[in-house]
Amino acid sequence: MTENKKSRSITRRQALGAMAGTAAVLGTPALIRPAKAADPIKIGVLSPVTGAWTVYGQAHSRGFELAVEEINAAGGVLGRPIEMILADYQTDQRLVVEQANRLLRQEKVDLLAGTFSSADRNAAGPVVKAADKILLYPTWYEGQIKDYYPGVCNPNIFMFGPEPTQQVWPFMEYMVSNHGKKFYMIGSDYAWPRVTNLFTKEKLQELGGEVVAEVYIPFNTPQYESVLRDIREKKPDIIFHSLTGSDTVNFAQQFHAAGMSKDFTYWTVDDEEVVTSGLGPEVSAGHFVSFDYFMTISHPNNKAFLERYKAKYGPDALMNTVGVGMYNAAHMGALAIAKAGKVETAAIREGLKELTFDKAPQGPVKMRGLDNQIVVPSYLMKVRAGWTSVNDMFEEVQSVPSVEPKDARCDLPL
């Protein structure tokens, strides 16, 4: 009993000592830090390196890596280098949460970049909200509607990819007047295709077009015969396509094999360089594709960018809209920190708003302050028949140098 008491009192004393020690330890870095100027700024990058979106993971992480290398070669930000910490979330939304938390708590990153699909971003939304850290999101996506908060309409998330009023709307008039008014919508069964189609229908109505069918397909569906039959029966003019991953390849392969390519116009808002490579020249020939970036666009920024990219990753390395989104995100994140003068969430957020980046590969871009949405160029391309590589895959049909999107459907300003 006595011993117990004794030990307890010692413990208490020890506790006090420990507390003092902790305070000293905690206090010290604050004193040392300004002196240690070369302390890196840490950015956690959430990338789908394995799992279903593996195919996109490489361009995704490389775009960011290249930008970080460029920033550091130019002396870093505020005299500090940037350290990129890559986390693979294996295309699993639970792992997005886990990895985001690990990066924030264990790696103590200053901000986050990445996630690929809208489902991944929506998983990361609550995490960055709770931790009050910035997330730079690179992918083309469905636009912001309040229902999906905090995955969107979140003041901490900045969108570097185009949304439907930028990716689809600018070309609808051309498509409707040249290829017909009847749309057959087919997409994967999740948020991005559904909301993208919602926006597309809105504009289509304005133009006097009609949607003959709207079909959503579960992930990893190998067979599309019933859809193909439905398409033949409903006789649309345009197949408006937003399937993703291997499903888009499986569908297009079977669509072509059924001899339907010549009967319908095929407009996809998903098949960038990676997917179109998977389709091959036979199957993809003549498809219309719209995005903010293509490897084949002729902007001088792009030529310089691809030279640096290929010097680092080899002449056959693929780039796409997501990789460029990540590239711009890294550069603009760094510019925002430089503008803010400190690495702190509120300051970075202010720094990003209305920030312009003239060196973006697709042409100058601007981060809109109102709703954290990038203002980008937009391109409608046609897949060249008999293309041999990503370097001659697309030919330009129409382009808009800068597309101001519709205001996000959130409580603005963010």
Residues that bind other proteins (CB under 8 A): 50-52, 54-55, 57-58, 189, 215-218, 220-223, 225-227, 229-230, 233, 245-246, 248-250, 253-254, 257-260, 274-275, 277-280, 282-283, 318
Alpha carbon distances (Å) from 88 to 92, 106, 340? 10, 15, 30
Q: For 180-206, b where at least 16 C-beta lie within 10 A, e where not — what string?
A: ebbbbbbbbebbbbbbbbebbbebbee
CB of 150 to other proteins, least distance (A): 27
> Which residue pairs from 336-344 have beta carbons closer than 8 angstroms and sit at least 24 positions apart in sequence?
337/41, 337/77, 337/78, 338/77, 338/78, 341/78, 342/78, 343/41, 343/78, 343/110, 343/111
Instruction: CB nearer to other proteins: give 3 or 225.
Output: 225
Q: How far is the CB of 303 from other proteins (least distance, A)?
A: 23
Phi/psi of residue 387, nearest 5 degrees: -65, 155
- In sequence order, the 6+-apart residues with CB closer than 8 A to the CB of 404 are 368, 375
CB of 89 to other proteins, least distance (A): 15
Closest CA to 64 of 12, 115, 104: 115
Judge whether 73 and 333 are in contact, CB under 8 Å: no
Rounded to the nearest angstrom, the gap between the alpha carbon of residue 414 and the centroid of all alpha carbons in its chain is 19
For the chain, what is the total number of helices (H) and then of strands (E)? Answer: 13, 14
Q: Is 99 exposed, middle or buried (0-12, 13-18, 19+ CB in 10 A)?
A: buried
Degrees to nearest 5, angle at CA 297 with 295 and 302: 70
Beta strands, E only, 118-164: 135-137, 157-159
- Nearer residue to other proteins within complex by CB, 6 or 94: 94
Do 242 and 192 meet the contact criterion of CB atoms below 8 Å apart?
A: yes
Sort residue 340 into left (φ over 0), alpha (ψ -120 to 50) or beta.
alpha
Reduce the DSSP state of residue 135 to 3 states and report it. Answer: strand
Pair 228, 258: CB distance under 8 Å:
yes
Q: Closest CB to other proteins among 205 and 220? A: 220
Give me the helix-helix angle, 273-284 and 245-257, nearest 10°. 10
